[in-house]
Amino acid sequence: MVVHDLNKFIKGWFIGPFLPTLDPNTAFECAVKKYVAGDYEAKHYHRVATEYTVIATGRVRMNGVEYGPDSIVEIRPGMATDFEALTDVITFVVKTPAVIGDKYLGEV
């Protein structure tokens, strides 16, 4: 068994075509992301990738809608969203396919 430290990866992204990574996979990217209450990410979208965000702990607001533990938010290509941590939050995120640079600020 090999054990890795999530804190050694950038913003929780540990699988995907970037460095550092455990697997330079181009089929998908994976991250465990940790936020503190009040953290905010501006509205953005992907042209190619679908993003699945699992709310593991805490409460978030995305596009004005609140989500809590066990919610899985699917964001398809061309759908824009922002992200606000209403409490301390841990998410698990999968993006597929993994496309470097496929993040655009604002609305489509």
In the chain, where the domains are located: 32-100
Residue type, 54: V
Average per-residue pLDDT for the chain = 97
Superfamily of chain region 32-100: Jelly Rolls (2.60.120.10)
pLDDT at residue 103, rounded to an integer = 95
Please tell me the predicted confidence (pLDDT) of residue 14.
98
> What's this model's pTM, rounded to 2 decimal places?
0.94
Sheet holding 104-105, edge to edge: 65-67, 60-62, 81-85, 40-45, 104-105
Residues of the chain falling short of pLDDT 70: none
* CA 59/CA 105 separation, integer angstroms: 23
